[in-house]
Amino acid sequence: MLRVAIVGCGKIADAHAHQIRRISDCDIVAVCDTEPLMARQLAERFGISRCFTDLGELLSETRPDVVHLTTPPESHYKLAVMCLERGSHVYVEKPFTLNYPDAKRLLALADEKGLKVTAGHDAQFGHVARRMRALVKSGYLGGVPVHMESSYCYELGDSGYVRALLTDKQHWVRRLPGRLLHNIISHGIAKVAEFLQTDSPHVIAHGFVSPFLKARGETEIIDELRVIISEENGTTAYFTFSSQMRPALHQLRVYGPTNGLIVDQDQETLIRLPGAKGKSYVEKFVPSLNFAGQYLSNLDMNVRSFLRRDFHMSAGMHYLIESFYRSITEGSPVPIPYREILLTAKLMDDIFRQLDVQQHHDKGSSL
Amino acid sequence: MAESELTESVMTQEGNLIGQNEPVLVTGATGFIGYKVVETLLERGFRRIRCFARPTSSMSKLEQLIARYGQDAEIDLIQGNLLRREDCLDAVKDIAVIYHLAAGAGEKSFPDAFMNSVVTTRNLLDAVLQQGGLRRFVNVSSFTVYTNDRKPSGALLDESCSVESDPRRITDPYCYAKVKQDELVMEYGKKHRIPYVIVRPGSVFGPGKTQITGRVGIDTFGVFLHLGGSNHLPFTYVDNCADAIVLAGLRQGVDGESFNIVDDDLPTSREFLNLYKSNVRRFRSFYVPHAVSYLFCLLWEKYSVWSHGQLPPVFSLRRWRAEIKPTGYSNAKLKSRLGWAPKVPMDEGLHRFFDGCREMRRDA
């Protein structure tokens, strides 16, 4: 029986607790939050016996096998180091760390201690993402991806989170190197990182504050981002983050030398894009039928999953946690290769560095 | 001023826990009810009012009040965050009575609702302890905390009814937050002797709100499912509700008490829906008998458990009992202990509400 602890008792901790409860052979033995009331509410609702306000005490008194870090990102590195030093495996919510050097040190420490770590890139493990991975492994693309397009959008709307972020100049999201982007884009960047071949791709980033935010007096929070990523071997990718474009896509398009794929996370659809073209008018009629059939097939799979009670909104998180636990108990590989975690962190560092330079330049020229 | 009016005014002042020049704090002062509480206090002659609101709140309505009463009254506007202890200390400094209306209403997650209702209330109460001298803490709660369980259909829901005690039965974040907020206030009252009163408004309506309460029905996929039928609605017009809240902070001898707030002449769900349709807009609605809505909630709840939350438990028996079960309501305690009487009759309140709805629809 794996002994699990959750550190940080905010909104995402609820999702973790729900998913952990659905996994057999594990038990949430303790929760921790610097705000005692927050720790108490999580423990009370999920029937968890121990509450702490200090991680050191939690680690000493309950000796958990795994710790889930669901705290604000700036604390991830320090807390993860503490857990590893005390012998616990760690699940770190996204963004993994504030920067690439911290990510590298953390993973090196895990290796040194013989412990395992994963990042909360759960969008990589939804039903459709897993189906896509299996298809790519089967060789459907016909080789290494030639080009990818990852769109990861976020509807600002009028949520409390956004209102708080816009009005509170001390909000923790503002303290992140990439601000709003830092807290969100790792899901979309990880989708690209999975298929990149080298460790130092070239990155060109362009970001700006949307007219929507500007109209609300915001000048610092970049909520529109376009990125071009390229590798020496010829693989390229576009990454788009937008708070304004509609539909607000969460989508990956991968084009190989033979065929392509479209993975839509929101609709849970996987569409094959056959590379071969039909002759003359055949191309005008047959592909539409093909796509109609594929969408019907996706519908069928989704309905069947739902009827099997296997179509939860947090299916990706459930799968990731279960796979991570299995990697601990059975010694199987970690669900997210460390190379992918590091590359995601590196790409994000490159993007934020360029946006910083751009913002300084923009400020300088406006003076 | 007529002699009888003068006598009443002096008596009101004398019967109050605090004088009109003692400072009063209203948290959530820009909210639908909070603003009316401030206005009611000013109308009742209170001259030192501190209004606390989030930085995200629009202060325009309060600024209008300042323009109206500013010459005779000292109205402080403080924008801050009750999650910050220093903001709480600033807010409670020298305050005699606190009307605590700020809450995490509309939050969809348990932690967010809890943080914005319970942690904020704890910070405020701690600030009160540090500051000292508070005469009363008026905690604005909600009907949602009642279980409405183990009672026959149509039985009276009053202040003696049981409040939810098992957090694992609660599927609504707002309900959980309010239950815990009430518990916290009572705990501080017991442990630290902070004098408090808890008020629980029913369904508050008035100009500025357009939504039809879930007690009447739900609008889903373009069809309005009428669930309330012949149930009486626990309505309280916003001015009447604010007046009751204000009195809860002023009347002597009610420390530690709780009060439900509902108006007189409560309409049935069907009466309200018909009036809404004829006064605001026409739409199709289908009546869902109570037995059917009960069965639906039961099945939904069972499925939610069986599927490990594949469908979240948005419909549950607890919700059915709280919102759909035929229930009677009483304001007897409110009238007898606080001397409250609704200033705006139900007909007039509904009339103003429908006018407000039409106006907002025109503006939209």
Ordered per-residue pLDDT tens for chain A, 367 residues: 999 999 999 999 999 999 999 999 999 999 999 999 999 999 999 999 999 999 999 999 999 999 999 999 999 999 999 999 999 999 999 999 999 999 999 999 999 999 999 999 999 999 999 999 999 999 999 999 999 999 999 998 766 677 778 877 888 889 999 999 999 999 999 999 999 999 999 999 999 999 999 988 888 899 999 999 999 999 999 999 999 999 999 999 999 999 999 999 999 999 999 999 989 999 999 999 999 999 999 999 999 999 999 999 999 999 999 999 999 999 999 999 999 999 999 999 999 999 999 887 877 766 5
Per-residue pLDDT reduced to its tens digit, B138-167: 999 999 999 888 888 899 999 999 998 887
Min CA distance, B47 vs chain A (Å)?
30
Domains and CATH numbers, chain A: 2-119 (3.40.50.720), 124-317 (3.30.360.10)
| CA-based nearest residue in chain B for residue A48 | B168
Taking CB atoms and an 8 Å cut-off, how many pairs form between chains A and B? 58
Report residues of chain B scoring pLDDT below 50: 1-12
* Cβ contact, residue pair A309, B167, below 8 Å: no
Q: Which residues of B touch A37 (CB under 8 A)?
A: 114, 118-119, 122
What is the model's pTM? 0.92
Residue A190 and residue A207: Cα distance in Å, rounded? 19
Lookup result for tokens 């009363």? B136
| CA-based nearest residue in chain A for residue B170 | A45
The pLDDT value recorded for residue A159 is 64
Residue type, B141: S
Calculate the alpha carbon distances from B10 to B5, B13, B349 in Å: 9, 5, 29
3-state SS assignment for residue A205 = strand
The answer to whether the CB of B182 falls within 8 A of the CB of B145 is yes
Contacts of B205 (CB under 8 A, 6+ apart): B213, B235, B236, B237, B238, B349, B350, B353
The pLDDT value recorded for residue A365 is 67
* Cβ contact, residue pair B119, A11, below 8 Å: no
- With 0-12 / 13-18 / 19 or more C-beta atoms within 10 angstroms meaning exposed / middle / buried, residue A120 is buried
Nearest to B109 among A14, A166, A311 (CB): A14
The pLDDT value recorded for residue B106 is 65
Q: Tell how far CA B316 is from the center of its chain.
A: 23
* Cβ contact, residue pair B111, A14, below 8 Å: yes
Nearest to B81 by CA among A217, A170, A148: A170
Q: Which residues of A touch B107 (CB under 8 A)?
A: 160
3-state SS assignment for residue A228 = strand
| CA-based nearest residue in chain B for residue A22 | B308
The pLDDT value recorded for residue A366 is 60
- The ipTM assigned to this model is 0.91
Residue type, B134: L
* Cβ contact, residue pair A167, B55, below 8 Å: yes
Min CA distance, A14 vs chain B (Å)?
8
The answer to whether the CB of A251 falls within 8 A of the CB of A129 is no
Residue A30 and residue A52: Cα distance in Å, rounded? 7
Q: Which residues of A touch B168 (CB under 8 A)?
A: 45, 47
**What totals of helices (H) and strands (E) does chain B contain, helices first?**
13, 14
Question: A329: number of CA atoms within 13 Å, CB side?
Answer: 14
Give me the DSSP letters along B22-38: S-EEEETTTSHHHHHHH
The answer to whether the CB of B320 falls within 8 A of the CB of B293 is yes
Question: For chain A, what's the residue count?
Answer: 367
* Cβ contact, residue pair B110, A14, below 8 Å: yes
The pair of structure tokens assigned to B71 is 């010459």
Residues from B contacting A (CB-CB < 8 Å) are 54-56, 81, 106-107, 109-112, 114-116, 118-119, 122, 167-168, 176, 180, 306-310
| B201 Rama class: left (phi>0) / alpha (psi -120 to 50) / beta | beta
* Cβ contact, residue pair A166, B306, below 8 Å: no
* Cβ contact, residue pair A10, B168, below 8 Å: no
Residue A160 and residue B183: Cα distance in Å, rounded? 25
Residue A152 and residue A186: Cα distance in Å, rounded? 9
The pLDDT value recorded for residue B4 is 43
- With 0-12 / 13-18 / 19 or more C-beta atoms within 10 angstroms meaning exposed / middle / buried, residue B60 is exposed
Domains and CATH numbers, chain B: 3-208+235-265+328-346 (3.40.50.720)
Give me the DSSP letters along A72-95: -GGGHHHHHHHHHHTT-EEEEPSS
The pair of structure tokens assigned to B301 is 């709840």
* Cβ contact, residue pair B310, A306, below 8 Å: yes
Contacts of B278 (CB under 8 A, 6+ apart): none
Nearest to A164 among B56, B180, B310 (CB): B56
Q: Which residues of A touch B176 (CB under 8 A)?
A: 41, 45
